Structure formats: structure tokens, C-alpha cells
Amino acid sequence: MVALATIDDLAAVMARDLSDSDLERCTTLLDIASQRVRTHTGQTFTKVTTTDVLRVRNKRVKLPQRPVVSVGSVTDLNDITVGFDWDGLTVLDLARTPVNAFEIEPRRTGLRTVKVTYTHGYDPIPADVIGVVCDLAAAALDTPPEQSGVQSETLGPFSMSSGSKYPGVLLTQAMKDSLAPYTAPVGTAQVS
């Protein structure tokens, strides 16, 4: 997928010109940082059209990607068109779907899953998302490759180091907090 920030965005955040050795690492670091943000939020961010197979609950379907720009089609798994009403946000109401053979026969149930083709994403990418991606990449870029992922602790005369040469592109709690509005909600479980 396309990185959520550009090298120019990164240079602006770092407020300095990037050296040739920095430029060699920038593209990879921006890709890694973008994937970390996508994985954490569950969102693709870039504007695309996808087809997802989604579970129907109480004749409603919740679209996982935001913001939803448009809904192209809803079909059952046999590619038969299913009627729907879209709330303009992320919920499709399938209640207007006429009774089908599954609902007429008592031993069968209604639709359990549907295929939804819809367009979602931001154009342009929100500035705070670009900022988090650039902060991640800048932190890794400012750390020499041989020091990436190395953690050390000193207590009196004792010193300990651990880690590997893994690129240090890790989300901090402050970054996670700024991405919270974009994070896909997780369902809750009732315990009794």
C-alpha cells in the first residue's frame, strides 16, 4: 500500500534537509510506520474501493472501514442483490430486503453474511495521521541503524543492554492516543 506520508512531509516535521543516507532509509521507514498505524487502527486511510464479506446482525451490517464515501452494492454469497438502506455513516440496514426462501422455511435462517462493495478512506490523509507516521519515521531515522531497538539501563556500576538491530518504529502511548479517533471500535463481551 501507499505510505501515509511523503518524504517532503518527513523533512518538514524534522525541520532539516535529509542527507543521502537518510533518503535511502526514508521510503522504507515511512512504509513501516504507515503499516504500524494501519495495523493499530484497523483502517487503510487511503481512498479505495473494496469488497468485504461481512456478518449480518439483526438485519444490520457495520462497515469496518471509515469514512465511508459510498456503497456500491450488497449481495448475498451467491451474488444475488440484497436491498439496503445506508445511514450515511457506517451502518447498512437490510430490513427492507423482501422475505426470501431462507426466511419462509422455519428450519433455516435469514442472511448471515453479505458481500459489500464500498468506497472508503480519506482524501487527503488527515494531518494528525501524517504527523504520527512522520514522528515514527523520524525517531527511527535519528537512531543509527546499529543502535535501533537497543535498550540500556545503568544502575550504579552495573549496566545492561538488550535489543536487536530491528528498526525502532514503535508507537508510543501519546501516538496511540492521537490515533484513537481513527481506531476501529472493538466489541464488548457481557459477563454474568
Q: What is the pLDDT of residues 118-134, one digit of tens each?
A: 999 999 999 999 999 99
Q: pLDDT (tens digit, 9 = 90+) per residue, 2-20? A: 999 999 999 999 998 888 8
Question: Average pLDDT in the 75-80 region?
Answer: 92
Mean per-residue pLDDT of the chain? 84
Cβ–Cβ < 8 Å for 55, 61: yes
pLDDT at 149: 53
Grid coordinates of 40: 493499530
Calculate the CA 104 to chain-centre distance: 40
**Which string of b and e fits 41-50 if b means at least 16 CB within 10 Å?**
bebbbbeeee
Per-residue pLDDT at 166 = 46
Burial of 13 (0-12, 13-18, 19+ CB in 10 A): middle
Confidence of residue 192 (pLDDT cuts 50, 70, 90): very low
The percent of residues in the chain predicted with pLDDT above 70, rounded, is 79
pLDDT top residue among 147 and 57: 57
